[in-house]
Structure 1
Amino acid sequence: MVTRVATVAFQGIDAVPVDVQAHIAPGLPALVIVGLGDKAVRESGERVRAALIASGLGLPPKRITINLAPADLPKEGSHYDLPIALALMSAIGAIPQDALDGYLALGELGLDGRLAHVGGILPAAISAHGRGLGIVCPKLSGPEAAWASEDVDIIAADSLLALVNHLTGHQLQGRPAPGKQLLEAGDLPDLMDVRGQAVARRALEVAAAGGHNLLKV
């Protein structure tokens, strides 16, 4: 049986729907991730395996295949960790298979099962709202997701274990309020962190280097 969890891929500032599919079958033990993922996506398997073990869960000694559909769409980043973990948890019965119907998920996993903030939360939340879905994300990302709309159902947890407790009804997480990210002195955003929009970024760099005026439309 195949279990599914919705997430997104980012193309510039657009969040494109992606379907994370997990399949467990007899065979030599292996965890294979397919679907045109970059190095961060391919390494996701080891982070997910360690996070599940740290959360008291274990993967069966079988052949596990993770497919990121559509297969011809490039996938980048570590935010696929959480949907992959949730799809596997659904496949092994750790959470109800219908628990994530109506949600999309994204977040990076630590080896201890904690969830780390990832970029693109706001575009993902806006995409979820447009599709009539809720969003599952790290606790630190919840205040950013809340800016998308008051109507978006947000589950923001700080670890896989807390997320399992919420989805099984043991310890519910409250909806986060919209918040601002406070920057420390000297910790200002840098254009090197921008992914995509290469032409626009180059124009900004040239204007800044030459001291030129810039009109943004």
Structure 2
Amino acid sequence: MSEARERVRSALIASGLALPARRITVNLAPADVPKEGSHYDLPIALGLMAAIGAIPPDALTGFTVLGELGLDGSIAPVAGVLPAAIGANVREEGLICPAACGSEAAWASPDIQIVAAHSLIQIANHFKGTQVLSRPVPKVHEAVSSPLDLRDIKGQESAKRALEIAAAGGHHLLM
């Protein structure tokens, strides 16, 4: 979580938001649950934005939030958006997530409110009423067809065999 501090600070500064010069404490409760991953970046940043008045203080009420921040204030996609959206829908909450994950989140329910943005500024403008972020639509990502085939590689029999074994076993491979 120590990198999250710097990502959030850099993203807010890049978005034109000044943080107070004093120490800021963020409480990630419950304390006994391990906090791993960068999907906490966006909720921390939005909580700080509400605290400093960049968005209305009650704007986040009724929302589940997840997303990773870039140093420039952009919101990067994260894994687990569909389960988060399903959980938010069960709790009758909305979801704030990266724009790249919005179509995945939309599969949770046609009734769930989804705010899917590319940047912190878009979310701030959405909650201030100066920009409308439309609800993403569910869509299926098409499989990428690859014109590459192992049959096209001449020689390198041992390397091709290693690729086949790794693929058959579902193993990672670095060449």
1:11-26 equivalence runs, <5 A: none
Task: Return the TM-score normalized by structure 1.
Answer: 0.66
2:16 match: 56
Match of 2:26 in 1: 66
Give the CA RMSD over aligned residues. Answer: 1.2
Q: How many residues align?
A: 148
Cα 1:121–1:56, aligned 2, differ >3 Å: closer, same or farther? same
- Deviations 1:42-80, CA, capped at 9 Å, x for gaps: 210100101001110011110100111001111111000
Q: In the alignment, does 2:105 pair up with 1:136?
A: no
4+ residue stretches of structure 1 with deviation over 3 A?
A: 182-186
- Inter-partner Cα distance in structure 2 for 1:79 and 1:168: 24
Greater share of residues in helix:
2
Is 1:106 the counterpart of 2:66? The answer is yes
Where 1:67 maps in the other structure, the secondary structure is coil
| Aligned-residue identity in percent | 61
Q: Which of 165, 185, 203 matches 2:125? A: 165
Q: Provide the rounded CA distance (Å) in 2 between the counterparts of 1:57 and 1:98.
A: 19
Residue aligning to 1:80: 40
- One-letter amino acid matched to 1:114: S
Give the 3-state SS of the residue equivalent to 1:43 in structure 2: helix
CA distance in 1, matches of 2:145, 2:75: 26
Q: TM-score, normalised by structure 2?
A: 0.81
Distance of 1:157 and 1:73 partners within structure 2: 28
User: Unaligned stretches of 5+ in structure 1?
Assistant: 1-40, 187-207, 210-217
Mind listing any 5+ residue stretches in structure 2 that lack a counterpart? 147-167, 170-175
Q: Secondary structure, in 3 states, of the residue corresponding to 1:178?
A: coil
* CA distance in 1 between partners of 2:127 and 2:30 (Å): 27
Residue equivalent to 2:80? 120
Partner SS state of residue 68, structure 1: coil
- Higher strand residue share: 1
**Cα drift, residue 185 of structure 1:** 4.6
What CA deviation, in whole Å up to 9, does each residue of 1:146-182 have, x standing for no partner?
A: 0000011000010000110001100010000001234
SS at match of 1:65: coil
Q: Secondary structure at the residue paired with 1:161?
A: helix
Q: Which of 169, 184, 187 lines up with 2:144 in the alignment? A: 184
Matched residues in 2 for 1:85 and 1:123: separation?
22
